[in-house]
Every structure is written in structure tokens, then in C-alpha cells.
Amino acid sequence: MAKEKAKILMLVEGAKTDVKLMTHLLEVYGIDNNHTIVSYNTNIYTLYNEMFADGDPESKDLLQVLKAHETNTNKKAIFDESYSDILLIFDLDPQDDHYSADKITEMAGYFVESSDMGKLYINYPMVEAFYHMKDIPDNDYNSYVVSMDELRSHSYKGRVNRENRNHDYNKFAVDKAECSIVIKQNIEKAEMIAGPFDKEFYPDLTELLKKQTMMLSEEKQLYVLCTCAFYIVDYSPKLIGQ
């Protein structure tokens, strides 16, 4: 991506963990100066209804859709700015009543280019996946899955807190070296799930989504995976020593 001189809008789902994680990653890798992070404050299925429900997302301006959704009048001006790139970071949240593999696949097929319509990163099942490691590196990370029962009972976040290395997100992946290990482990796991990526375009997020939704349908579980951290590699593979 190499966006050193770009002006980038990063839309995240939640106002707490999502903002904190992406702020941390951007600061650790020294690329925070040209990014604006804003929370959507609801899940991806609301965005689907606002942009895709009538079957014609191309007729809508994403920034104006986001501006209309924003309830904080002080933040509305953010969406009147011009951006070279737009990133959308959301959770899969398959336990949501509005979850649909077809809906999420349609969105993933549309939001594929950050400098055009925007690029979508989906965390499985949610952003807390970044912290779901008992060590850095975690030799068992590839085996971690989450069941629909866990998600419906809202117990997954508690599991992450128990299994996190420090039981404290503020003490996890505190520097560039640790963050790079976590990112590389997630990339390796994504390759395990979806097959080797084309190194020019990796990660192949649409193929990854296909495999994850298929597993969810057939086995009622999916692999724990954080894809929002892939943005660091998309920005510049050199940042993690690729």
C-alpha cells in the first residue's frame, strides 16, 4: 500500500477495544500521523442495511452514509473531508440475528479497494481475537476455534481474558517486535485456513471469508482470527520484516 503521504479514514466497529487496538498498532509502527480513526458504534449488519438493502450500493456515497449515521454532531465534519483511502474494520458476529453469509459475502466482494469504495477487514469472531494468545508466540494458536454456543452465550470475551498471556490487554503485544509476531501468526493461520496467498495481493480476505462461513455452516464453529492487524502488512510489508 505504501501510504506514507496518504490521508486515511479508518472506520472501526466499537468505541473501546477496536479504537484502542488500532491506535496502538498505528503508533507502534509509526504510521499514526495520517490516519483518522472513528467508531461506527454498531455492527456490520447495520451498515449492510444502510448501503446494500436496496441492492444498489454504488448509488450511495459511503462517507455521506456514515455522516448520516453519526449521532455526534461534532464528528460529522470528519465525513466531509476527502480521503485517499478508507478502511472498514468489523466483527463477523455470526450470533447476531441479522447475520447472513450472503450479506457478509456481498459486502466483502464490494469493499475490496481502500482507494476506491473502501476495504473491509473482518475479525473472527471479533476484534478480541488479537488478544487470544497465551503467549507470544503461541504454538497452539492455529488450533483455536470458537463455537456458536460460546458466541450466543456471550462467553467468548471471558475466555479471551482467561487465556490471554497477561490477562490484561494493556500488557499484551506492547512493542513492535511482539506485535509483528502476533500479526505473522495470524497471517500463517489465515494461510492454513484458506491456502497460500498470492504474495502480491495477500491476504485474500474473500477466500478466507468463504472458508470461515462454510465451516460455520457445517460445524457451528469457526477459527479465531484477527484480520484487522493485516492492515499493517497492507500498508507496508517492511513494517513487520516481510
Q: How many domains does the chain have?
A: 1
Q: Give yes or no for residue 201 having a pLDDT over 60.
A: no
Q: Give yes or no for residue 120 having a pLDDT over 70.
A: yes
- Residue 198 vs residue 234, higher pLDDT: 234
Q: Supply the range of the domain harboring residue 112.
A: 8-237
Q: Rounded to whole angstroms, how far apart are CA atoms 129 and 122?
A: 11
Q: DSSP 3-state assignment of 123?
A: strand
% of the chain residues with pLDDT over 70 = 95
Mean pLDDT of 46-72: 94
The number of CA neighbours under 13 Å toward the Cβ of 98 is: 11
Instruction: Supply the DSSP symbol for 81.
Output: S
What pLDDT, on a 0 to 100 scale, did the predictor assign at position 175? 97
The pLDDT-based confidence of 191 (bands split at 50, 70, 90) is: very high
The distance from CA 193 to its chain's CA centroid, rounded to whole angstroms, is: 17
Task: Please report whether residue 80 resides in a domain.
Answer: yes
Task: Please report whether residue 242 resides in a domain.
Answer: no
Summarised one tens digit per residue, pLDDT across range 129-187 is: 999 999 999 999 999 999 999 999 999 999 999 999 999 999 999 999 999 999 999 99
Task: Please report whether residue 2 resides in a domain.
Answer: no
What pLDDT, on a 0 to 100 scale, did the predictor assign at position 196? 76
Question: Which backbone phi and psi does 87 adopt, to 5 degrees?
Answer: -115, 140
Task: Describe the strand order of the beta sheet including 118-123 as a list of residue ranges.
Answer: 35-39, 8-12, 85-91, 118-123, 112-113
Q: Rounded to whole angstroms, how far apart are CA atoms 95 and 87?
A: 24
Terminal C-alpha separation, the chain: 14
What pLDDT, on a 0 to 100 scale, did the predictor assign at position 198? 67
CB 237 within 8 A of CB 199: no
